[in-house]
Structure 1
Amino acid sequence: MMNSRYFHPESLMMSHGYKPALSEGAIKCPIFQTSTFVFNSAEEGKAFFEVAYGQREKQPNEELGLIYSRLNNPDLQILEERLCLWDEADECAVFESGMSAISTVMLEFLRPGDVILYSKPVYGGTDHFVNKVLPQYGIKGIGFTSLQSESDILEMIDAYGAKDKVKLVYVETPANPTNALFDLELCRKVADKLATEEKEVVVCVDNTYMGPLWQHPLKHGADLVVYSATKYIGGHSDLIAGAVLGKQKYMQRVRTLRTFLGNMAGPWTGWLLMRSLETLKVRMQQQAENAVKVADFLADHPKVEKVYYLGHLKEGTEQYQIFKKQLSCAGAMVSFDVKGGEQEAFKFLNSLKLIKLAVSLGSTESLAEHPATMTHSDVSIEDKQAMGISAKLVRLSIGVEHHADIIWDIEQALERC
């Protein structure tokens, strides 16, 4: 709120949380490239540490002072305040990568003997952490799909004898790389039915595919939202970062573990992300407009077997109903099955001229990759087959180039398949 007017988030990305008077009047927040900060008095230092280490709650109108860049830094604090605006979150914590954000949440809310209930498919790195790393700590992962109902999921958990062990419901929606949608209200109901007076079940949603613009999971029952900020939030393929946002009581735990793992982003990354937030909406809108045209072209091409694009969901289907309830846009991620198999998919990828053959997504340039052998190569063969991550699947991240040039590139590459 500013002078009795509530500004839109995109209007506040240039100024929110920053006071030029504290930085010699600089219109943009400087890079605070420092490891530590000077206290005005010993008493002030004591007070800052009491709050930072959770020894007491912050008093009304008390500002948490700067201590040490592992705990707080102006670039990160201002960035985190701005990120909260899109999702209307209580707090945000920025990390040095998306996987450090995801793994920190899982390590904070899970203990040996616990179970994580997770949606399938998920990003390959997440799948690896759930199925290869967490089991080493006595934590089991149970996956569910978008085709399963609330009763199906609860019956499956009962069959595993895990009803009293589930502590975290982790959902990636839309799913990478198939764009499968999960009903977040259903996930919330499942979590609540598994909770008891002694055991809370937290719902965490990976919203990377939609960015902070097109879907707001906290409004649909999630407790926490995670992002690979490398993607749309950063949006220029020049940084690695992650973010966790959500309710204060959960964020206090996430932030505390981040302090002692030491995996927060640095001030330079924070500064770059603040720069990127200023153009987030215009970039994502252009990418989404381009994606509509690309998906429509692919749907009519004789060498394309199937297109996975949210804008093509059929009215009346369950997936369409979820889309209308949770999302405000179809996004800019388009996957498709080329007719044939790996050989044809590789011919397509190797023939691209404008679109870059690289992993990641959400950047200004269009990218293409082969999930089965790249981002999701470590996913089990059984899960790949069940989730449709086949040898013929290609994933596109649509950029801000002119849509006619993107389509020309796709067309000439398909001609060589």
Structure 2
Amino acid sequence: MMNREFHPESLMMTHGYKPELSEGAIKCPIFQTSTFVFKSAEEGKAFFQVAYGQREKEPNEELGLIYSRLNNPDLQILEERLCLWDEADECAVFESGMSAISTVMLEFLRPGDILLYSKPVYGGTDHFVNKVLPQYGIKGIGFTSTQSKEEILELVKGQEENVKMVYVETPANPTNALFDLQICREVADKLSAEDKEVVVCVDNTYMGPLWQHPLKHGADLIVYSATKYIGGHSDLIAGAVLGKSKHMVRVRTLRTFLGNMAGPWTGWLLMRSLETLKVRMTKQAENTIQVADFLQAHPKVEKVYYLGHLEEGTAQYEIFKRQLNSAGAMISFDIKGGEKEAFTFLNNLKLMKLAVSLGSTESLAEHPATMTHSDVSAEDRALLEISEKLVRISVGVEHYSDIIWDIEQALEKV
């Protein structure tokens, strides 16, 4: 019988792991160790040569274990498995989503450079772009989902040579606004030169590794808060960067010297989470259809921001059909009124938890304008519909009728 190419969800339990190297254990153990023993001085020399980029790996040569800041079996196996979903060359796991994002930006941007970034982005990313990077002489220029390729290029007219990265978060947190990755790629190519590559980096956290694959649409790098769908249980903090080898060598090298890789315990927990990733995310997406339809019909709800409700023929719908294979499990909605009504709703939830974060097994609700996006400028919040009446919900794996009951009874109190 011919060999079969298994689906990623079928490989999440076994890929990259050799039980015979771990006493036959069915699951990869936690390699809770700082350093690893070399068989000989020559072996140690060879491992360091590859790790520090002094030579390329030989064909079929595996990168030897040196020190857990450089590599650890739990992280190595996890990174190999994460590559399967996005069909990436390489992956590097970090101690948080922000450490993944900030490392990428610090590696590819230098004083005097410009970062073109989509708006809105996660509040932490917005803070790093607009409050931290300027201290290093790096300027962020934002563009919205309604702007054309020509309008985006106009934003950097006369400064084209300084643009080094196009950073895109799509769907955008918290409004589900979609950005056309083909346009972002074309903008980057237009601004690139023979001696200057403009890198396209996509934050794919909202869709997880399942529902959107940016590398297939022109991205060079993907960043994740692995805390969210990849972790999926609200019990760890982690990030990940995936992409082409030529870019990942740079990301991985800076990670080594910033020292912000995840530890073996986090790596082990993430491997556990990957085994149920597709089951969890599929259930969450199914639940979200029911919840979004309920919200859409409720008299106290003004507007629902949900990808499953996009109108056929619109630009956003066309992007959705081309780039995504699910409407996902994130909903935001405008409650009639303002902050008072939004807070009343949030304070009366019984099943759902009032907490930031997303992508976990339990449903979560929060108020972006005063919580996750409170540091975004008032001007941008107004422009991007992050108003005081906006509530964001991350739908979990509970029975959808219980989630709807909870939303209904909380809305009754408003």
Q: What's the TM-score, normalizing by structure 2?
A: 0.99
Q: How big is the shift at 1:381?
A: 0.2
Q: How big is the shift at 1:3?
A: 6.5
Aligned equivalent of 1:212: 209
Q: What does residue range 182-197 of structure 1 map to in structure 2 within 5 Å?
A: 182-197=179-194
Aligned equivalent of 1:102: 101
Aligned equivalent of 1:43: 42
Aligned equivalent of 1:73: 72
Separation in 2, partners of 1:399, 1:359: 13
Aligned equivalent of 1:270: 267
1:223 aligns with 2:203: no
Aligned equivalent of 2:23: 24
Aligned equivalent of 1:63: 62
Aligned equivalent of 2:369: 372
Q: Secondary structure at the match of 2:223?
A: strand
Aligned equivalent of 2:175: 178
1:328 aligns with 2:339: no
> In angstroms, what is the RMSD of aligned CA positions?
0.7
Separation in 1, partners of 2:255, 2:174: 29
- What is the percentage of aligned positions where both structures have the same residue? 85
Q: Secondary structure at the match of 1:373?
A: coil
Aligned equivalent of 1:238: 235
AA at the equivalent of 1:266: G
Q: Secondary structure at the match of 1:225?
A: strand
Aligned equivalent of 2:163: 166
Aligned equivalent of 1:91: 90
1:154 aligns with 2:153: yes
Q: How big is the shift at 1:198?
A: 1.4
Separation in 2, partners of 1:54, 1:216: 29
1:343 aligns with 2:340: yes
AA at the equivalent of 1:72: N
Separation in 2, partners of 1:332, 1:277: 17
Q: How big is the shift at 1:47?
A: 0.5
Alpha-carbon displacement from aligned partner over 1:230-269 (angstroms, at most 9, x marks no partner): 0000000000000000000000000000000000000000
AA at the equivalent of 2:12: M
Separation in 1, partners of 2:2, 2:26: 20
Separation in 2, partners of 1:198, 1:13: 40
AA at the equivalent of 2:208: G
Q: Secondary structure at the match of 2:369?
A: helix
Separation in 2, partners of 1:31, 1:42: 26
Q: How big is the shift at 1:4?
A: 1.4
Structure 1, 131-140 or 56-65: larger mean CA deviation: 56-65
Q: Secondary structure at the match of 1:371?
A: coil
Alpha-carbon displacement from aligned partner over 1:56-114 (angstroms, at most 9, x marks no partner): 11111111000000000000000000000000000000000000000000000000000
1:287 aligns with 2:284: yes
Separation in 2, partners of 1:209, 1:253: 25
Aligned equivalent of 2:350: 353
Alpha-carbon displacement from aligned partner over 1:199-238 (angstroms, at most 9, x marks no partner): 1100000000000000000000000000000000000000
Q: Secondary structure at the match of 1:59?
A: coil
How many residues get paired? 414
Q: How big is the shift at 1:162?
A: 1.9
AA at the equivalent of 1:44: E
Aligned equivalent of 1:415: 412
AA at the equivalent of 1:123: Y
